[in-house]
Amino acid sequence: MTTTTLPPTPYEKDAAPVVLEFPDNFLLIDLCGEHDRHLADIELKLSVQVLRRGNQLSIHGEPAAQTEAAEVLQSLYERLEAGRAVEMADIDREVRMGSSEKGTGSPVGDQMDLGVGDRVEIKTRKKLVEPRTDAQKAYVKSLFKNELAFGIGPAGTGKTYLAVAVGVNLFIGGHVDKIILSRPAVEAGEKLGYLPGDMKDKVDPYMQPLYDALNDFLPAKQVEKLIEEKKIEIAPLAFMRGRTLSRAFVVLDEAQNATTMQMKMFLTRLGEGSRMVITGDRTQIDLPRGVSSGLRDAERLLAHIPKIDFNYFTSKDVVRHPLVAAIIEAYDKDDPK
């Protein structure tokens, strides 16, 4: 692949276009995407115009934007050369991460070897999961490095999703014997007792995001079998009382809705060979008025303890629909604090 600069064209008055030449036309087709949708996404995100001529792509726009777009396209092409697919999420990650993702790197997990500056990848049975922001990358490294880690930030930042991915990776690599996923069954305007069915039927809707994450990383039949064998457990926080969790990867999701006593109870379940991840969003507390959030208390009480790592996310780390980030920012600005 070569890079050249052509004289200015009517598309750009201020800078000459940057031209990238790609030797493999088949990979170039994959790079551009169906109906050039990948190019359109890069154009939208970086405010450039990308024109395709044969096996060349010419990038028009401001010089800084041209350089960034060229780096993104080159990185995505290298990904294709390595035999890996390019999806919209990969474009988003390359645009967000920029030069911090340089170098071939290596997947993490089996040996938990996290080289500084390397690309971080989490292998699961169904897919390869890659962080899409610097904060996510630091979070994943923290989960592999620390026995107890917190992920705190707004919805849509991948806190739970990445934690479950790491848990699956460690499980299939033999580093833990089971995965335990838990949430406080706190009602947001609806009482559990009024819902139909037995206790499992009542609490399953609260646990559904955890089932969804698991099914993204493991075949559905394997998930069912592992749940039957109790190698994967998905249960409300109250069910953790009295247990000692050894050689397990344990995730407490929506931890802002745990009370201080529940949080203490959960944290003291940590057993030999286990890892624990606590995720939550301090802006979405559904506890009754006057009840203190265990997540806030844990931040205050545990921040000074070595080997307990706190990871924080902002609206810039939201990887859902772009409107989600805008909505979070709007509410943050209106928060009187």
145-158 pLDDT, tens digit each: 999 999 999 988 99
**Cβ proximity of 266 and 195 under 8 Å:** no
Look at residue 198 in the predicted model and tell me its pLDDT.
Answer: 52
Q: What is the CATH number of the domain that holds 65?
A: 3.30.1370.10
Domain membership of residue 283 (yes or no) is: yes
Look at residue 238 in the predicted model and tell me its pLDDT.
Answer: 82
CB proximity list for 42: less than 8 A, separation 6 or greater? 48, 50, 69, 72, 73, 91, 95
**Residue 184 banded pLDDT, cuts 50, 70, 90:** confident
Look at residue 203 in the predicted model and tell me its pLDDT.
Answer: 63
Across the range 280-284, mean pLDDT stands at 90
**Cβ proximity of 80 and 1 under 8 Å:** no
For the whole model, what pTM was predicted? 0.77
Q: Which domain holds residue 77?
A: 2-101
Q: Let me know if 56 is exposed, middle or buried by CB neighbors in 10 A (0-12, 13-18, 19+).
A: middle
pLDDT higher at 311 or 209: 311
Q: What is the rounded CA–CA span in Å between residue 177 and residue 171? A: 6
153 and 205 co-located in one domain: yes
**Residue 296 banded pLDDT, cuts 50, 70, 90:** very high
Q: Which of 101, 134, 165 is the last residue of a domain?
A: 101
36 and 171 co-located in one domain: no
Structure tokens at 243: 């247990």
128 and 78 co-located in one domain: no
Least Cα distance to 234 among 181, 183, 185 occurs for 181
Domain membership of residue 22 (yes or no) is: yes
Domain membership of residue 238 (yes or no) is: yes
289 and 147 co-located in one domain: yes
Structure tokens at 2: 């070569």
Q: What is the rounded CA–CA span in Å between residue 262 and residue 198? A: 23
Q: What is the 3-state secondary structure (H, E, C) of 206-247?
A: HHHHHHHHHHHHCCHHHHHHHHHCCCEEEEEHHHHCCCCECC
Across the range 169-194, mean pLDDT stands at 77
Percent of the chain residues topping a pLDDT of 90: 51
111-131 pLDDT, tens digit each: 444 433 467 889 999 988 989
Across the range 72-77, mean pLDDT stands at 91
Domain membership of residue 109 (yes or no) is: no
Across the range 213-236, mean pLDDT stands at 92
Look at residue 14 in the predicted model and tell me its pLDDT.
Answer: 54
Q: Which of 67, 101, 135 is the last residue of a domain?
A: 101
Which of 144-148, 190-194, 230-234, 310-314 bottoms out in mean pLDDT, i.e. has the lowest? Answer: 190-194
Which of 91-100, 146-155, 175-184, 231-240 bottoms out in mean pLDDT, i.e. has the lowest? Answer: 91-100
Look at residue 240 in the predicted model and tell me its pLDDT.
Answer: 85
Q: Let me know if 327 is exposed, middle or buried by CB neighbors in 10 A (0-12, 13-18, 19+).
A: middle
97 and 219 co-located in one domain: no
Look at residue 327 in the predicted model and tell me its pLDDT.
Answer: 79
306-329 pLDDT, tens digit each: 889 999 998 888 876 667 777 777
Please determine, for residue 251, whether its predicted confidence score (pLDDT) is greater than 90.
Answer: yes
Please determine, for residue 104, whether its predicted confidence score (pLDDT) is greater than 50.
Answer: no
Across the range 44-60, mean pLDDT stands at 91
Across the range 165-180, mean pLDDT stands at 95
